[in-house]
Amino acid sequence: MILTVTLNTALDLTYRVPALTPHASHRVTHVLERPGGKGVNVARVLGALGHDTVVTGFAGGPNGAVLRTLLARCPVRDALVPIGGNTRRTLAVVDDTTGDTTQLNEPGPTVTPEEWSAFLHRYGELLPAAEAVALCGSLPPGIHVGAYAELIRTARGAGVPVLLDTSGEPLRRGIAARPDIVKPNAEELAQLTGAREPERAARDARRRGAHAVVASLGADGLLAVTASGLWQAPPPATVKGNPTGAGDSAVAGLLSALVDRLPWPDRLSRAVALSTATVLSPTAGEFERETYERLLPQVAVQTQAPAA
Amino acid sequence: MILTVTLNTALDLTYRVPALTPHASHRVTHVLERPGGKGVNVARVLGALGHDTVVTGFAGGPNGAVLRTLLARCPVRDALVPIGGNTRRTLAVVDDTTGDTTQLNEPGPTVTPEEWSAFLHRYGELLPAAEAVALCGSLPPGIHVGAYAELIRTARGAGVPVLLDTSGEPLRRGIAARPDIVKPNAEELAQLTGAREPERAARDARRRGAHAVVASLGADGLLAVTASGLWQAPPPATVKGNPTGAGDSAVAGLLSALVDRLPWPDRLSRAVALSTATVLSPTAGEFERETYERLLPQVAVQTQAPAA
């Protein structure tokens, strides 16, 4: 099975309004509730691809209960650890006139030391059965900034390949623990390394400890810098749509191809086809299987000179 | 006891953000959850004033469960009728830079005919013990537009004074059923009667069936047109603050003074002092007892010529 970790899960709400006007009153025409947080999104995509997928992390309070009810309808297994606090909400307000989204993210509950210990115990129980583990998203209040580094060391000790998708100081500390893959976006990579040029920044991130760096570059697709080479995988076509969840779909594609023991170019094809299908989907963060399968053979991965 | 009816209850959320920018991502700095819907707000003020107060209407789903948990901490009695649908949320996004509020209201669940029957049964059980009843707010999907008229006739049949605070067609139909008091704002009154001048519109509303009309005119305070006279009650001072809930506090003041058998000028004083204290409170929809008691003797009710 594939294990995804989401320490800061969220109940994702989407509101549609005819037009968002600050300081006015709005009638919401459509409400959507989804289980969220990056690792949960990754797991939903993996489950849709047919992988046996387990979700862990934290959930609590009334929002956590709704999240778990919604998660039970997804093709993933729920191994979330209960907490006393109320799981945060995130709200995406979609303006039907412009198609733009305004995002409002609650801060999330504070996790206690006892809850963190309970999680470490659960994580240790789950790892032996995992073919790969993904550590995704921000850290909630109460969790020490080196938490991902700790989880990476445990996974590596258990011989489980580990992918890290986070930002800021948790990414910096995590990379030093030598994860198999990190998947920053251009902004996160620049923030980490100080280099704005993606290839240079990705090489720098490898020197800091990551075995492979897969950078998501928006409309330019993915750039992978690994021990065995450097690849660029642009989207198969110029796509217009909602980029919400495209990065999480790319992570799912990388993990899916990793456990299927595919070489790097095929991993990138899968990741790019999935993230492009997600952008094209009318529902944010979802993808249509048919679109993914149509796009997959169209992704042209470009090999470049081996990484230094 | 005083009975308040809220057919379209809500879980009221307030988000504070440093500044609201459409199409940007925001970190919410503070989240507040409150039991809401106009009649629930009225009941909370009545409870705070020391009145034995019962809340009825509908609540269901995870949001309804949170609403009822929060309501249990208020000095009111919960007689809400369970429904299968999920109670709506309302979200007020407060911009900490400008102090302005952007409001997003979910549509609310559809009430089934069986749930409406269960409510009518509950309402009939509660009425004999009520000294007054307030019917407040919008109608949820599934409830017929003449619902308030039906509830007014039942209350009048039981000899219980009834106040109606709604708008649009439910107000038009409700007034024809001869409620004791209606409390429209200037906009609702103009929409009902076609007259923009408040006194003329209020007289028109009386002719349509309301025994007394108390119009809330924002910064101009309250205008009451009754069988025994016409009064104007401006706020005791020019007030700056958040007007959220001021109308609900005015309704609470009218009901409180009605069951205390006070004459009209004293009813208006209580209503204006409460709504002014609500505007001045740092927390939207709340009021400080001390502010209310300080303002009460400062309200100068002006008598005018008896209503035609």
* Span B252-273, average pLDDT: 98
Other Cβ atoms closer than 10 A to A196: 11
The residue-averaged pLDDT of A146-159 equals: 98
Mean pLDDT score, A144-172 = 97
Q: What is the spatial distance between Cα A185 and Cα A218, in angstroms, rounded to a whole number? A: 8
- Is B125 domain-assigned? yes
Residues 6+ apart with CB under 8 A from B73: none
Angle at B167 between CA B162 and CA B169, to 5 degrees: 100
Residue A220: active-site member: no
Could you tell me where the DSSP H helices lie in B127-240? 147-157, 168-176, 186-193, 198-207
pLDDT tens for each residue of A168-203: 999 999 999 999 999 999 999 999 999 999 999 999
B288: closest CA of chain A, how far (Å): 26
pLDDT(B307) > 60: no
Assigned domain for B212 exists? yes
Range of the domain at A140: 2-6+37-85+109-304
Residue B13 lies in a domain: no
Which of B95, B220, B248, B260 is catalytic? The answer is B248
The reply to whether B99 falls in a domain is: no
Confidence of residue B285 (pLDDT cuts 50, 70, 90): confident
- Residue B59's nearest CA partner among B3, B106, B109, B14 is B109
Does B17 sit within 8 Å of A20, measured CB to CB?
A: no
Whether residue A16 lies inside any domain: the answer is no
Q: Compute the distance between CA of residue B116 and CA of residue B81 in angstroms, rounded to an integer.
A: 9
- Is residue B283's pLDDT more than 60? yes
How far separated are the first and last CA of chain B, in Å rounded? 34
- Please give the full DSSP string across A100-141, using - where no structure is assigned: -EEEEE---PPPPHHHHHHHHHHHHHHGGG-SEEEEESPPPT
Q: Which of B122, B171, B179 is nearest to B155 (CA)?
A: B179
pLDDT at residue B245 tops 50: yes
* Confidence check: pLDDT of B43 > 50: yes
Residues of B in contact with A66 (CB under 8 A): 62
Does residue A211 form part of some domain? yes
Nearest CA in chain B to A107: B28
ipTM over 0.90: no
Rounded to whole angstroms, the Cα distance separating B148 from B144 reads: 9
pLDDT band at residue B306, thresholds of 50, 70 and 90? low
CATH number at residue B176: 3.40.1190.20
Predicted pLDDT of residue A305: 64
- A29 within some domain: no
Check pLDDT > 70 for residue B18: yes
B141-198 pLDDT tens trace: 999 999 999 999 999 999 999 999 999 999 999 999 999 999 999 999 999 999 999 9
Residue A237: predicted pLDDT: 79
Q: How confident is the model at residue A207 (pLDDT cuts 50, 70, 90)?
A: very high
Mean pLDDT of A226-242: 89
Residue B103 lies in a domain: no
Could you give the number of structural domains in chain B?
A: 1
Q: Which of B25, B66, B98 sits opposite A103 (nearest CB)?
A: B25
pLDDT on residue A35: 96
| Residues of A at the B interface, defined by Cβ within 8 angstroms | 15, 17, 20-29, 31, 62, 65-66, 69, 91, 93, 95, 98, 100-107
Strand partners, B92: B14, B103
The answer to whether residue A284 scores a pLDDT higher than 90 is no
Predicted local confidence at residue B281, as pLDDT: 87
- pLDDT score of A307 more than 50: no
A146-155, B227-236, B242-251: least confidently modelled range = B242-251
pLDDT surpasses 50 at A14: yes
Residue A239, pLDDT score? 77
The chain-wide mean pLDDT, for chain B, equals 95
- State mean pLDDT over B123-131: 98
Least Cα separation, residue A24 to chain B (angstroms): 5
Q: Report residue A232 as tokens.
A: 């660029």
Contact A102 B22 (CB under 8 A): yes
Residue among B23, B98, B105 whose CB faces A100 most closely: B23
Identify which of A24, A66, A106 has the shortest CB distance to residue B102.
A24
B22/A22 Cβ within 8 A: yes
Q: Is the pLDDT of residue B308 over 60?
A: no
Compute the nearest-CA separation of B187 from chain A (Å): 15
Confidence bin at A208 (pLDDT 50/70/90): very high
